[in-house]
Amino acid sequence: MSIDLAVIGGSGLYNFPGLENAQRQSVETPFGPASGDVVTGDFAGKQLAFLARHGESHSLPPHRVNYRANLWALHQLGARRVVGVNAVGGIRDDMGPRVIVVPDQVIDYTHGRFTSFCDVEGAEVKHIDFSEPYTASLRRDLLAAAARAGVPAIDGGCYGATQGPRLETRAEIARMKRDGCDLVGMTGMPEAALARELELEYACLALVANFAAGCGDEEEISIEEIFAHLAAATAEVPKILAAMLAG
Ligand code: HPA
């Protein structure tokens, strides 16, 4: 099957709006089950594959997502370009709720996740170059498409991946800020590294749901507000991807 683009949907994106002639594919992987079926269909005149990272009913917390199975399944179906859509908290002042960012760097604070396809008996050990964690050409295409679609998107930023599922303390975010993180999310890693191991093109569309702890004016972060902001930002995603596929 020829897939023009695969999309991994994060919190708030459990099915892909506008996907026509959709078909479900359940893919067996050597790493166990993916988060759910991969749904393939027509979008903007091209073949799109969609996978809900947390499952279609959001039953998988970030640390229990089978990232290896997800990437493997998409690769197995023939996907070569993957966009990960991730809900994030904004750390940088200009990255407040509803802002869309295409990050260019990552710092991984997660632990206890399977971070490599080499992590099985007898597998060949592969050391990948990860200086640039996201594929430059795919990042450029996303940003150009957002501009054509009239959707503002910020070019670059450092995504700090935390373990979750709880949000961070103010001290943790203050440390991340000192480290150079602009955004914080729970699912950006190991997804990006696994995509690189499979030689997939991969980029992240980060949707800011809230200011991270201690960064905005709010004393506390409201989970209801997070989902309201996410819904607004998520509505822009198909516009960007339609412009990219049509372009
Ligand atoms: N922290 C981590 N992940 C997130 C946040 C946050 O504040 N908001 C949305 N995803």
User: Probe ligand 1: pick from 85, 100, 163, 184, max atoms within 8 Å of CB?
Assistant: 184
Gap from CA of 118 to ligand 1 centroid (Å) = 29
Q: What is the pLDDT at residue 16?
A: 96
Residue with CA at minimum distance from ligand 1 atom 6: 89
How far apart are the C-alpha atoms of 19 and 48, rounded to whole Å?
8
Q: How far is CA 1 from its chain centroid?
A: 23
CB 81 within 8 A of CB 5: yes
Q: What is the pLDDT at residue 121?
A: 84
Q: What is the pLDDT at residue 26?
A: 96
How many structural domains is the chain composed of?
1
CATH number assigned to the domain comprising residue 98: 3.40.50.1580
Q: What is the pLDDT at residue 137?
A: 98
User: Probe ligand 1: pick from 98, 167, 215, 218, max atoms within 8 Å of CB?
Assistant: 167
Q: What is the pLDDT at residue 95?
A: 98
The low-confidence residues of the chain, meaning pLDDT below 70, are 1
Gap from CA of 106 to ligand 1 centroid (Å) = 15
Domain ranges, residue 167: 5-246
Q: What is the pLDDT at residue 221?
A: 85
For the record, the structure tokens of 92 come out as: 């940088």
Q: What is the pLDDT at residue 76?
A: 97
Q: Indicate if ipTM > 0.85.
A: yes
With a Cβ cut-off of 6 Å, ligand 1 is lined by 87-89, 162, 167-168, 184-186, 209-210, 212, 226
How far apart are the C-alpha atoms of 136 and 139, rounded to whole Å?
5
Q: What is the pLDDT at residue 155?
A: 98
Q: Residue 16's closest CA among 3, 28, 29, 27?
A: 3
- Distance (Å) of CA 180 to CA 92, 176, 191: 10, 6, 20
For the record, the structure tokens of 36 come out as: 């759910």
Q: How far is CA 209 from its chain centroid?
A: 14
Q: What is the pLDDT at residue 41?
A: 98
Q: What is the pLDDT at residue 22?
A: 97
Q: What is the pLDDT at residue 57?
A: 87
Q: What is the pLDDT at residue 86?
A: 98
Residue with CA at minimum distance from ligand 1 atom 3: 185
